[in-house]
Each structure stands twice: as C-alpha cells, then as structure tokens.
Homo-oligomer: A and B are copies of this chain.
Amino acid sequence: MNDTSHTARLLVACPDDKGLVAEITRFIADRGGNILDLDQHTDPDDCMFFARVVFDLHGLNLSMDAFILQWNTLADQHEMTWRIHDASQHRRIAILVGKTDHCLREILWRWEDGELPCDIPFVAGNHDDLSPLATRYGLPFHTLPVDASSRRVQEYQIETLIQQHHVDLIVLARYMQILTPEFVSHFPNRIINIHHSFLPAFAGAKPYHQAHRRGVKLIGATCHFVTDDLDAGPIIEQATARVGHRDTLADLIRKGKDLERSALMTGLQLQLEDRIIVHGNRTVVFE
C-alpha cells in the first residue's frame, strides 16, 4: 500500500499490441505524471493485455478532465476498456445484510479503524436484527422486508437508495436473498458477494450442511461478483480451513465465519484499491 494522497489508479484491458506499455507510460510521463507502481499482464490464451498503473498527480501539467479527454483518443485506438480513479476520492459502498452479523461487524470495525478507504452511506437488511449494530457505528439502517411477491418492489427501494446516495459498490454481507436478473443487470461488476463454500462446490443453499454431509476435510469461502447465474460470477478471492471428523455442523459454521470474514475483506479491499479487472467470467487481480 502506498500513500494514496494525490495519486491516480488506471486500469486497462485491451487486445495486446506491440509497444502498449511504452505508449501508456509515455503518455503519462509526457503529462507530468510519475508512475509509482505498474503491474501488467498479457494473457497468452486470448492475447489480451491488462494493466494497473498508479501514478502521482502532483506534477501533472494539465487538469484531470483534460488528461481524460486526451486519454480517450489513445484508448479508442486500442479498443481499451479502462477506468481511472483518484485514490483520494472515497468510493461509496452500500451494505446489504440478513440476520447474520459477523461479516457486517468485520466491515464496520475495519472501516472505523481506517483500513477500508470508503464511505458507507447506509446499511439495509430484509430483517432489522442488525439495525443496532449499524446504529452503533453511526450509520443509517433501512429495514426492507421481502417475500416472493414483493421482491421487485423491495429491490426497487434498494435501487432508489443506491441512486440517492451515489453508491459505487454494493456489498452482500451474508444477504441471503437471491437478487433478480433485473436488479443484477443494473450493477454489472458492482455487486460483491461472499458465499460460504469453496465454489463451485456447494453452490446454492446451506453449503455447510452440504459440506458436512459430504465429509470434506477442508471447508471454504468465496468472494465473487454477482451475475445472473447463481454463485457462478467471477471469483475474486477464496480461502479454506481444515476440518475433521470431530467437527459438528455447528463447528463448520463457526470456523466458516472466520473464512467468510477474511475472504470478503480481502475481496472488498482489492476492489477499493482498484486491483481487479473482470474479463469474461474470470478476474485479473493485481496484488
């Protein structure tokens, strides 16, 4: 981690081409940006180029708007998918929860501790169990109950909140509802979920029950982006822990909590530091 004051982070994905790194780095250097960190990867399978460039904005000899305008020309030439982010600008995240508190607790704690560079305009849940926890950290909590008949209505309430609060990223911190394709389609690669299994094993409901029945010797947790396809979106981070025959289902759930906290926090931190590029159904993660 570098000091993030006055630095920009640029993420680029495009078809590979000769001299691309040189062109990108020269572009930045010519405009007075000093590159602090550069990580680049070319996928040999489909000849795609991926890069993350962090550069110092202190010496930039033009405005950020002008920089972006000029960058667009270069980006178009190379058919780039790209985004740039001023590291001093906090992302705004909304957290959706159910009744289970450990993931929300971990996020709020680290956020209060200054480890998570983001703003949290609100927490919402389909139950009100975690309202006191959010309140304890001074955050508004919206209780938005949902059942099969009210799903789209409730999601519309969430969407409205998200728009009102200019939310960049939605974190499902053990929110146990399945979002509709409509909802998901509005936030591509902007919804992060924690699933309590080592995906693709034990997708769907009650993964610890499935794991216990199968008699696995390792349990896992997976942080991933949400897509239409249940528990099948691009994976960001996975963690595993040993279990044995002495571990009851309750033990699996208890040990799994630690994995979920860890995998979700790692995934969230990576996204807040602009270290993830989604390509197809996979992720490039610049660590």
- Residues on A close to B: CB < 8 A? 1-3, 18-23, 25-26, 28-30, 34-45, 50, 59, 102, 105, 109, 113, 115, 136, 198-202, 214-218, 220, 234-240, 244-246, 248, 250-251, 254, 258, 262, 281-285, 287
Whether the Cβ atoms of A284 and B245 lie closer than 8 Å is yes
Contacts of A19 on B, CB cut-off 8 Å?
29, 34-35
Number of copies: 4
A-B contact pairs, 16 of them (CB 8 A): A3-B44, A18-B29, A18-B34, A18-B59, A39-B39, A41-B246, A45-B248, A105-B109, A198-B218, A199-B201, A200-B202, A201-B201, A215-B234, A218-B238, A240-B240, A258-B262
Tell me which of A29, A105, A245, A258 has the highest count of chain B C-beta atoms within 10 A of its own C-beta: A245
Partner of A1, one of B28, B109, B245, B250: B250
Whether the Cβ atoms of B244 and A215 lie closer than 8 Å is no
Which 8 A-B pairs give the minimum distances between C-beta atoms?
A: A215-B282, A22-B29, A201-B201, A22-B25, A19-B29, A245-B284, A217-B238, A18-B34
In the complex, residue of chain B having the shortest beta-carbon distance to the beta carbon of A217:
B238
Partner of A40, one of B37, B44, B254: B37
Q: How far is the CB of A254 from chain B (nearest CB, A)?
A: 6
Q: Contacts A262-B258, A284-B245 given; indicate if A41 touches B34 (C-beta within 8 A).
A: no
Contacts of A214 on B, CB cut-off 8 Å?
199-200, 235, 281-282
Q: Contacts A18-B59, A245-B282 given; indicate if A240 touches B218 (C-beta within 8 A).
A: yes
Known A23-B29, A115-B254, A198-B218; further 5 A-B contacts with Cβ < 8 A: A18-B29, A21-B25, A21-B35, A38-B39, A136-B136
In the complex, residue of chain B having the shortest beta-carbon distance to the beta carbon of A263:
B217
Q: How far is the CB of A240 from chain B (nearest CB, A)?
A: 5
In the assembled complex, the Cα of A2 lies from the Cα of B246 at a distance in Å of 9
Contacts of A262 on B, CB cut-off 8 Å?
258
In the assembled complex, the Cα of A99 lies from the Cα of B23 at a distance in Å of 47
In the assembled complex, the Cα of A209 lies from the Cα of B62 at a distance in Å of 40
Contacts of A113 on B, CB cut-off 8 Å?
102
In the complex, residue of chain B having the shortest beta-carbon distance to the beta carbon of A214:
B200
